[in-house]
Amino acid sequence: MNSIVIFGAGNVAHHLLKAFSSAKDFRVIQVFNHKPESLISLSTVTETTINLAKVKPADIYLMAVKDDAISEIADNIIYKEALMLHTSGAVDIEVFSNFSRRGVFYPLQTFSKNKEVDFSQIPFCIEANKKDDLQLLESLGKSISENVYHINSQQRKSLHVAAVFVSNFVNYLYTEGEAICKKNNIPFEILQPLIMETASKVTKMNPMEAQTGPAKRNDVGVLQSHLSQLNKEQQKLYSLLTQSIQALHGKEL
């Protein structure tokens, strides 16, 4: 049985702790976080601490903290024998350069504490500086997921940028769409089947081929009508996205 200490008590840490509770060969023995109030809900699942000096020795130290905190916490870790991992999409493996065993365990998914996720379908991107540790990471990933990929730091950084486009930016557009609906007393759920169909479509065909709408068709009248209904910030966004779509598909306003 491989022991794990998780650093962090946010969305990712919360879900990983739950996922590993049913893993066959891995067990979380402790969770560290500097805010005691964040550990209250986790203390019924495993041991917790707010003191780095009291972090237990373990086979794996898994940092699920904000990117800027990774190196700061690592610099204060006493036990040096563990395989050091972080869950960031943007931080290089060499953030752990002072440790002989280092790696990355990046779950490519968006997490919210109150929204359950199916870990079996989440892609895990793994990297390690030693062959034996890469095999250990493979086992760690497969203990909770069916999708484990060997992705190096440069690939992962590019993947993270792509993820921001397809998730964070898209979610922002949902927010703008919801604001337009609220302004006009329209229930946002009317749009939800369209959202689901659009997302489903790109799992079966190329996103470029899936593109539809007035920008691709160059429906100038519709485009101008849409712009007249928007505030200045929304107009800027609408025009930029319209121009980008038309540039990609060879049309001009």
* Domains of the chain in sequence order: 2-151 (3.40.50.720), 157-248 (1.10.1040.20)
With tokens 């203390």, the residue in question is: 43
Please tell me the predicted confidence (pLDDT) of residue 251. 63
Question: Is the separation of the CB atoms in 210 and 201 below 8 Å?
Answer: yes
Confidence at residue 250, expressed as pLDDT on a 0 to 100 scale: 81
Tokens of 63: 């940092």
One-letter amino acid for residue 113 of the chain: K
The predicted pLDDT at position 97 comes to 93
Strands in the chain per DSSP E: 2-7, 26-32, 47-49, 60-63, 83-86, 102-107, 123-128, 147-150
User: For residues 14 and 114, what is the distance between their CA atoms, to the nearest angstrom?
Assistant: 10
Count of helix runs (H) and strand runs (E) in the chain: 10, 8
pLDDT at position 54: 94
> Which residues, 6 or more positions from 197, have their beta carbon under 8 angstroms from its beta carbon?
none
Contact, 5 vs 60, CB < 8 A? Answer: yes
- What is the model's pLDDT at position 252? 53
Helix (H, G, I), strand (E, B) or coil at 125: strand
Tokens of 77: 């870790």
Rounded alpha-carbon distances, angstroms, from residue 245 to 64, 208, 237, 238: 36, 9, 12, 11
**10-residue mean pLDDT series, the chain (253 residues):** 94 90 92 89 88 95 94 92 95 94 94 83 95 97 95 93 95 97 97 96 93 93 95 96 93 56
